[in-house]
Amino acid sequence: MILAFCISILLGPATIRLLRELKYGKNIRKITKKDGVDLYIMHKGKQGTPTMGGVLILISIFVPVFLLADLSNPLIGMLIFMTFGFGLIGFLDDYLGIIKRTSRGIAGKQKMFYLLILGFILGCFMMFTELGIYYDPLKTSGNTHLCVPFIKTLYPDLGWFFIIFIMIVISGSANAVNLTDGLDGLAIGITTIAALALGMIAYMVGRFDFSRYLLVPYVPGAGELTVFLGALVGSGMGFLWFNSHPAEMFMGDTGSLALGGILGTVAIMIKQEILLVIIGGVFVIEALSVILQVASYKLTGKRIFLMSPIHHHFEKKGWAESKIIARFWIVASLLALFGLSTLKLR
C-alpha cells in the first residue's frame, strides 16, 4: 500500500505533464435530447484537463504486485490478466475518444462485448480450475456455489449458469464504476473504500480458521489478494492527491474500467459476489439511476432525475461538487462497514 502510494505520488506530476504535452485532454460532451440538460455548461471548466490518468493507477498497482505478490498463485495471475484486459479496453476507448475529439471512443455495444468476453474467461477459470473452495456449513466444495449474506446454510449451486452470472457481475461492476466517474475524486475515493473492505475479507476467507469461525467459504490462496488490493488502495490514495477537486488529472476509462473490473473479479474469487452489491452500493445506485432514467424516458417520455447518473442530479439541485463527493464517500464508508458486519451476522 505504501509503495503504491509513493509510486503514484512520485510519478503523478510527470504523468500530468506528459498528458498535457500529448494533448490528451478531456472532452466534455455537448447537449443532446437524451441528456435533457447541458453537461457542458456545468463542467466546461474541466474541458482539456489531462485524462487517461488510469495509466498511473495501473503502474502504481502492478509494480508492487510484481515485486511483492506470489506470482505463482493462480488467483493473482488471473487478477493481473483481468486488470490488464480491462485497462486495455479503457485505454483504447480513451485514445479513440481523444483522436476523434469526442467524449466517446469505442462504441457501447462493442465495449460491452469485450467486457463480456473477459467475464467469460474468468467464469471458465473459476469453474474449471481446482481452487479447493470449501463451504463449511454444508461440508461441500465447488467453485460454482454462491455465498448468501446473512444466511449461513444457503449456498446455491448455479452449475453451468455460473459462467453467465460471472459475465453479468464483471460487466456490471466495470460499467458501474465507469458511470460513477463523473466528479473529481468521486470514483477513486469510493473504489479505495470498497477495495479496503474487500481486502479485509480476502484475508479472512484465505485463512481456514477465520473462515470456519465466520461460516464463510474458505478459498485457499485468497489471502494473497490482499497484496493486490493493498496496492490498489495505495495507488488510489496517491491518485486522489491529483484527482481531488479541482482535479489536475482524470482517470478516464483506462482507470474506471480497470478498477471496476478488479472489484468484480476479487468479489468473484473470494465468493462474495452478492456482498459486492452492499460494499459497492454507491456504484449500484449510480448504475440503477441511469437504468431507471433511460427506462422511464423511453416508456413515459418523462425523467425521474434531473440528470443521470445520480451525482449529476444533485448538481442540478444546487449541491456543490465537493459536498456531493464528501457525502457519497460517507455513504460508501457506511456501506463498506455494513458489508463487513454481514460476515458475523449469519
- Per-residue pLDDT of 144-167, as tens digits, reads 888 888 888 788 889 899 999 999
Neighbours of 42 (CB within 10 A): 15
Max Cα–Cα distance, the chain, nearest Å: 59
Collapsed DSSP state (helix, strand, coil) of residue 306: coil
Q: What DSSP character marks residue 304?
A: S
Is there a domain that residue 37 lies in?
yes
- Number of domains the chain contains: 1
Collapsed DSSP state (helix, strand, coil) of residue 206: coil
Is there a domain that residue 269 lies in?
yes
Is there a domain that residue 248 lies in?
yes
Beta bridge partners of 25: 50
Sign of CA dihedral 137, 140, 141, 145: negative
Is there a domain that residue 333 lies in?
yes
User: What is the predicted pLDDT for the residue at 153?
Assistant: 79
User: What is the predicted pLDDT for the residue at 36?
Assistant: 45
Sign of CA dihedral 259, 261, 262, 264: positive
Is there a domain that residue 85 lies in?
yes
- Domain extent, residue 52, equals 2-341
Q: What H or E segment, with its residue span, contains residue 205?
A: helix 186-205
User: What is the predicted pLDDT for the residue at 143?
Assistant: 83
Is there a domain that residue 346 lies in?
no
Can you give the pTM of this predicted structure? 0.92
User: What is the predicted pLDDT for the residue at 44?
Assistant: 63
Is there a domain that residue 132 lies in?
yes
Give every residue of the chain whose pLDDT is below 70, as ranges.
Answer: 26-45, 101-104, 136-140
Is there a domain that residue 99 lies in?
yes
User: What is the predicted pLDDT for the residue at 101?
Assistant: 66
